[in-house]
Amino acid sequence: MVVAGITIADQLRHKLGESAVKLQHAADGIVTCWIARQNFHDALAYLKTDVEQPYRMLYDLTAIDERMRVHREGQPPSEFTVVYHLLSFERNEYIRIKVPLKRDQPPIDTITDLWPSANWYEREVWDMFGIRFHGHPHLKRILMPKTWEGYPLSKDHPARATEMGPFHLPDEKEDAEQEALRFKPEEWGMKPGRDGMDFIFLNVGPQHPGTHGVLRIVLQLDGEEIVDAVPEIGFHHRGAEKMGERQSWHTYIPYTDRIDYLGGVMNNLAYLMAVEKLAGIDIPPRAKVIRVMLSELFRIISHLVWYGTFAQDLGQLSPVFYTFNDRERAFGIIEAICGARMHPNWFRIGGVVQDLPKGWEALVRDFVKYLPPRLIEYDKEVMQNRIFKARTKGVGVFTTEEAIEWGVTGPNLRACGFEWDFRKKQPYSGYEQFEFDIPTGRHGDCYDRAVVRVEEMRQSLRIIEQCVDNMPEGTYKSVQPLACPPLKERTMHDIETLITHFLGVSWGPVIPPGEALGAIEATKGNNGYYLISDGGTTSYRTRIRTPSFAHMQMLPKLIRGRMVPDVFAVLGAMDYVLADVDR
């Protein structure tokens, strides 16, 4: 975007000097600037605060191991590149800053002084690539075990167990691993007590009914009051990003299903948007609307799980059974259309797997009619319950400014009163054609987050209804050559179509070199896939930016000074899944 005739790159050049900024083309159209390690901190500070219409959110921070990359035309030499994605709400656009590094250079500057949320991201980059950050408050492993050797996302680290030799766990090693898991308060700069009284260090998780998965939080308690907390993540880490580098573009789709495992096909959408930008594929209108309809169904499914479990976190036993029942009905539709339930793996490069089955309209219409009265019932049971209100109002409050500072997106951001929904602001997959409202809260507390999600279900129903009413005719998959697998009518007729089909499903399509970010308004916030193709059948680097990671990082800030039960109110209202945090 150009402000007053000057591009942001020009402004950066003006600030840092003509030669300091080097532009790179990206398939997604995001302004991509290479800035040397001496300058990048100033550049980021400038972009965050001084520039007109600033880039206030650190959207993502990651790195690329460039050593094996072939297609780097026009890019400065670099062995490891640190990539910063910033988001400006005023401009409604991203900017990508890349910093080239050599392997054996001294650490680069941390940006935790600019964004507190950079803390975990920089730890992850250190954990995965071995890049050190000067001035980081706690540069320790975050996703991998403390005892891990090597940096998994560097290209010289093996990806498969078969490349690593047999696994042994002798007693000494087991003891060492156990010892490494022991929480040592002094490592985190925590005092063991105050005024002659010892604090309790309560280990919550990784096996705990209130954490919804393998999350560990160490609470520093004075009685039941929380002095400080340290969330420890990584127990659900499965190396999804590394797998992206060995699966073909096509066969990686089922892995995405399992990132936000409540979001189902919506994960496919974020990934495929990036792939389709790289491949330059246009999606036929019918496929777009099918994608929107299924995504919105999954938004409802995910929110229903959240609704019931949130109430259960607060001690209400029944709603979870009701909402899971409703979710089961929605799964009935998903099953009829996709043949699977939680992980349908249903979207394909260029469209979807199959056309909708006969009779799908009736199923969807039934559900659209069925759910609203149930939601009214839950309003009375949960949202209007006075104990529920007492437990959630004024708990875990943050403001819009804090939310942006910490990279909060989705319903949690909207609960602060900031009307920002990527479906409206940066419409994708044809969302601009639908009528729906963006529900917002006002106080940014747990209750308002609940209000926003409940209303979102109603809006999703509106969108689904419009999908049924206006489903376009036509094909469900693009006919462009990179769409994979090709439409059935276009295979097995002659040797040419046979070969295309065979190569597409065996080797996988060859995606042209380039890089692209595909970001969507997922169930929990902004989910983005930053893909780099080196012109092969697999991705060179797959970066998954998940909302839960950013939200979870904010937890200690939200629960300091509160009581133990508030931890679970805050966690419940945050709506995360551990697979989405750890990937």
DSSP conformation letters of 283-351 = PPHHHHHHHHHHHHHHHHHHHHHHHHHHHHHTT--SHHHHHHHHHHHHHHHHHHHHS-SS----EEBTE
Give alpha helix (H) positions in 470-563.
495-506, 547-553, 555-559
Stretch in the footprint of another protein (CB under 8 A) among 3-11, 311-319, 475-483, 538-546: 311-319
In the set 381, 427, 430, 497, which binds another protein (CB under 8 A)? Answer: 381
Closest approach, Cβ 558 to another protein, in A, equals: 16
- Interface pick for another protein out of 3, 202, 487, 503 (rule CB under 8 A): 202
Q: How far is the CB of 453 from another protein (least distance, A)?
A: 17
- Closest contact distance (angstroms) between CB of 316 and another protein is 4
For position 313 contacting another protein by CB under 8 A, the verdict is yes
If binding is defined by CB under 8 A, does position 307 make contact with another protein?
no
Whether residue 533 contacts residue 512, with contact meaning beta carbons closer than 8 Å, is answered with yes
Which residues, other chains included, contact 136 with Cβ-Cβ below 8 Å and sequence gap of 6+? 110, 112, 119, 122, 123, 126
Is 224 among the residues that bind another protein (CB under 8 A)?
A: yes
Q: Which of 64, 215, 311, 467 binds another protein (CB under 8 A)?
A: 311
Which of 1, 176, 200, 362 is the binder for another protein (CB under 8 A)?
200
- Rule CB under 8 A: is residue 385 a binding residue for another protein? yes
Q: Are 232 and 565 in contact (CB under 8 A)?
A: no
Which C-beta is closer to another protein: that of 99 or that of 218?
218
Q: Is 329 exposed, middle or buried (0-12, 13-18, 19+ CB in 10 A)?
A: middle
Q: Contacts for 136-143 with beta carbons within 8 Å, 24 or more apart?
A: 136/110, 136/112, 137/112, 138/188, 140/187, 141/234, 142/233, 142/234, 143/233, 143/234, 143/237, 143/582, 143/583
User: Is residue 209 near another protein by the rule CB under 8 A?
Assistant: yes
Q: Least distance from C-beta 180 to another protein, angstroms? A: 21
CA 350/CA 404 separation, integer angstroms: 33
By CB under 8 A, the residues from 460 to 479 that bind another protein are none
Q: Does 390 bind another protein (CB under 8 A)?
A: yes
Cβ 88 vs Cβ 48: under 8 Å: no
* Count of chain residues binding another protein (CB under 8 A): 31
Please say which residue, 290 or 578, places its beta carbon nearer to another protein. 578
- The minimum distance between CB 229 and another protein, in angstroms, equals 14
Cis? peptide before 485, omega within 30° of 0: yes
User: Does position 316 bind another protein by CB under 8 A?
Assistant: yes
Euclidean distance between the first and the last CA atom of the chain, given in angstroms as a whole number:
32
Structure tokens at 498: 């046979």
Q: Judged by CB, which is closer to another protein: 28, or 566?
A: 566
**Stretch of 7-15, 289-297, 314-322, 411-419 lying at the interface with another protein (CB under 8 A):** 314-322
E-only strand ranges, 114-251 = 133-134, 193-194, 197-198, 200-204, 216-222, 225-232
Helix axes 285-313, 446-469, angle to 10 degrees: 150
Least distance (Å) from another protein to the CB of residue 390?
A: 6
CB burial of residue 307 (10 Å; 0-12, 13-18, 19+):
buried
Q: What whole-number distance in Å separates Cα of residue 367 and Cα of residue 462? A: 12
Binding of residue 315 to another protein (CB under 8 A):
yes
Q: Is 314 in the site for another protein (CB under 8 A)?
A: yes
Q: Which of 38, 49, 318, 506 is in the footprint of another protein by CB under 8 A? A: 318
Residue written as token pair 């009701």: 322
The separation between CA 393 and the C-alpha centre of its own chain, rounded to angstroms, equals 27
User: Please, which residue, 374 or 424, has the CB nearer to another protein?
Assistant: 374
- Region class of 494: left (phi > 0), else alpha (psi between -120 and 50), else beta: beta
Q: Select the residue interacting with another protein from 322, 331, 398, 540 (CB under 8 A).
A: 322
388, 447, 529, 530: which one binds another protein (CB under 8 A) = 388
342 is a site residue for another protein (CB under 8 A): no
Residues 486-525 that bind another protein (CB under 8 A): none
**Is residue 121 involved in binding another protein (CB under 8 A)?**
no
Min dist CB 317 to another protein, Å, is 6
Question: Which listed range, 262-270, 321-329, 536-544, 546-554, lies at the site for another protein (CB under 8 A)?
Answer: 321-329
Smallest gap from residue 298 Cβ to another protein (A): 23
Our finding on whether 325 is near another protein (CB under 8 A) is yes
Q: What x/- string results for residues 543 through 582 when contact with another protein is judged by CB under 8 A?
A: --------------------xxxxxx--------------
CB burial class (10 A; 0-12, 13-18, 19+) of residue 10? middle
Task: DSSP letter for 473, please.
Answer: P
Residues lying near another protein in the complex (CB under 8 A): 200, 202-203, 208-210, 223-224, 311-318, 321-322, 325, 381, 385, 387-388, 390-391, 563-568
